[in-house]
Structure formats: structure tokens, C-alpha cells
Amino acid sequence: MKNKSLITLLILVLIIAYSCVQNKELKDSNSNISWIRFKWEGDSIGNKYYKKLAMFIPFKLENVPYKFTSQLDLGAPVTMIYGNTFSPLLVNFPDIAKKLDTIKTKYVIQGKKVGGFNNISFYLDTVLFKDQNVAFFKGFGDTLSKSNFKKDTTIHIGTIGSNLFNEKTLIIDFKKKRLAILDSLLNNTENKLIDIIIKNGRIKVPIIINGEKVYVLYDTGSSFASLYLSTKNWNRYRDTTSTLDTLMATAWGTEYPLLISKTNIEIKIGDLIFKPETIMANDLDPYYNFYKREKIIGLMGNLLFYNKILIIDFKNKKFGLINEGQLIE
């Protein structure tokens, strides 16, 4: 009986040990991840309300005592502060104003050359980013006066672009509304990631649609979309018998018609398969020309990933998704 009990105990120990190994999917080598909270920002497009339209992060700029937010937008190659919004505060904060260089216009945003802040520090939630170079998007953002800035008011002031994550690993936990930036990959994640292309800050991900390999630009700024294409190339992916919905959307201050169609496609990313209900498109030539130039079919947003954890290794150019519950802190 003692031998049988010992065998049973050993089997139980082995099962527990194996379970621990199987669940150690994402463990930081230091067992300590500094999480940055984000909030889903909702808004209406046309007559339809989207609860998860944008990802807003608490943002604190040096010694400025006001509450700000910035949008996480990986479709934007550079991190920026909106000129119209922040300009009224420059007089009050001369130390920050001294760091603004509008002579050397080294950034290009929406076809415009702009200057920026040099060696400026800020917080994303509670995580400090020291001595960063940030673009100053002159002429963009809500036009405010000094009276709009109050200590109990939160103001949207900018965009967090992909350049902030150069040589880093970004983890986005969509369900728990948090993200983390690490110096290297977590343990045991390499076999879950696929090769991607990152060029000029743009993240191009290979996906398989109904057996065909194509590339899409991953864009967290298009949170409400699964795929966002052009009317010139979306017929092969949409249900052409379905009735189109048309909404009026705005991007970077420009209004345009947004078309929505049902779809029956199957999208494979790594080992995961997704079956979106709809895809979107517009009929604007600049978008289509951009897609052709970048050799992509369009944009991929966050809609597919709401219950997933996303890993982007900017240093080694890798991309992968895991399920909730596979992240151990």
C-alpha cells in the first residue's frame, strides 16, 4: 500500500509540475512587469456608436500640473503633441518651451513637415519615459485657451506612435486594458511569434485570407475595424450580395464616407483563425495609392483581438497573439 501511495503521489507531483510548465507562457525574467493602463474611448461615427474606438493612455508631461491623455496609434510612425491644444501653455512653462525646435522640421505628419520637442520627459500612466524626442504637430488638435486647463479636467493632447517602442517588446493585454514595454521578449514566446516587416515605423503583418498570403498594416488607431481596405480591392474579400452600410467618418481632420460590408472570409494569423463578420473600406485614392505603394491590402485594427494578448517584438520584428490566461506575472 505504501508503494501504491508513493506512486500516486509522484504522479500527482509530475502532473502539477507539467501544468506549471505548460502555463508558463509569458513570464518576465524579472517576474515584474510595469503595466500601463489604457481606457477605451467611444464615439459615434454617423449614426452608430462604437464603444472601443480609440485607446487613450493617461499622459503627464514633465512638471505640467494638468491631466492629459494620448492615443495609442501604432499606425502613426511618430509620437506627437498637438500644437493647437498645447500652445496656450508654452508661455507658462518656459523650461518646456526651450525644448521646442520648430526650425528643424525633421518630422513628417500627414504630408506636413513639423518640428518637435528635444529631450522631453513624460509619463504614460505611472511609467516614466525620459529624454524623448516628440513631434509638435502644429495646427492640429482642439484649439484651446488657458481657461480650458483646469486641474480636474482631462484634455486629449497627443498620439503615442510606434517610434516609442523601437528596439523594445510591446505587450497589449486588450481585455484587462493595459500594456507593457519590455527590453526583451518574455520567456517561451518565440515559437508563438511570426515574422513581420517594420519599416519607417510601419508594422506590416502577413495574414492568410482563404489560403492566400497577404500583408496588412497593423493600426491600433483603427480599433473598431477588423480589416480596413479600399473599394478598389475589397470585392474579393467581402460578401458582394450583402447591402452596404455607409457612415461618415473623420480621420486627421478629414471627413469621408466609410463603407461596411458583411464578409465570409477566414483570416489566419500564426496558428489562430478569425472569422470577422464585417470589413470596411473607403473610396479615397490616397488610401489606395498608399496601400499599393506599401504592398499591403489595407489596415488591420483591434477588433479581432479584444480577448487576446498581443506581443510585438520591434527589435527582432516579430508579432504574435496568445489567449487570456496564458500570461503569468
Pairing mode, strands 116-124 and 100-101: antiparallel
Q: Are residues 112 and 203 in the same domain?
A: no
User: Which amino acid belongs to residue 234?
Assistant: W
Cα torsion 252, 258, 261, 266 to 10°: value is -10
pLDDT tens digit sequence for 99-137:
999 998 999 998 889 999 999 999 999 999 999 999 999
Q: Is residue 159 part of a domain?
A: yes
Asked whether residue 321 is domain-assigned, the answer is no
In contact, 114 and 135? CB cutoff 8 Å: yes
3-state class of 165 per DSSP? helix
- Residue 122 within any structural domain of the chain: yes
CATH for 109: 2.40.70
Co-location of 82 and 129 in the same domain:
yes
Domain that holds residue 147: 36-165
In-domain check, residue 314: no
Q: Which of 150, 165, 180 is the last residue of a domain?
A: 165
**How far lies 163's CA from each of 149, 180, 198, in Å?**
28, 15, 11
Based on the domain organization, do 260 and 159 belong to the same domain?
A: no
Say if CB 297 and CB 215 are below 8 A apart: yes
Q: What is the pLDDT along the chain (329 residues), one digit of tens a residue?
A: 444 444 344 333 333 333 333 333 344 444 478 999 999 999 888 788 889 999 999 999 999 999 999 999 999 999 999 999 999 999 999 999 999 999 989 999 988 899 999 999 999 999 999 999 999 999 999 998 888 898 889 999 999 999 999 999 999 999 999 999 999 876 655 667 999 999 999 999 999 999 999 999 999 988 889 999 999 999 999 999 999 999 888 776 778 899 999 999 999 999 999 999 999 999 999 999 999 999 999 999 999 999 999 999 999 999 999 876 666 55
Classify residue 177: in a domain, yes or no.
no
Residues 79 and 150 in one domain: yes
Question: What is 263-287 written as a DSSP string?
Answer: ----EEETTEEE--SEEEEE--HHH
Q: Is the distance from CB of 277 to CB of 73 less than 8 angstroms? A: no
Residues 6+ apart with CB under 8 A from 147: none
Residues 220, 117 within the same domain: no
* 229 lies in some domain: yes
118 and 201, same structural domain?
Answer: no
- Within a domain: residue 128? yes
Same domain for 154 and 40, yes or no, is: yes
Rounded-to-integer distance, Cα 159 and Cα 145, Å:
20
228, part of any domain:
yes
Task: Judge if 211 and 106 occupy the same domain.
Answer: no
Which three cell numbers mark 298? 489595407
Number of compact structural domains in the chain: 2
Same domain, 49 and 150: yes
Q: Is 68 within 8 Å of 59 (Cβ atoms)?
A: yes
What does pTM read for this prediction? 0.86
Measured between alpha carbons, how far is residue 31 from residues 26, 178, 327 in Å? 10, 17, 11
Question: Does residue 203 share a domain with residue 130?
Answer: no
Residues sharing a CB contact under 8 Å with residue 250, sequence separation 6 or more, in sequence order: 256
Is residue 266 located within the same domain as residue 213? yes
Residue 44 has a CB neighbour count (10 Å cut-off) of 10
Q: Are residues 114 and 158 in the same domain?
A: yes
What CATH number did the domain enclosing 228 receive?
2.40.70.10
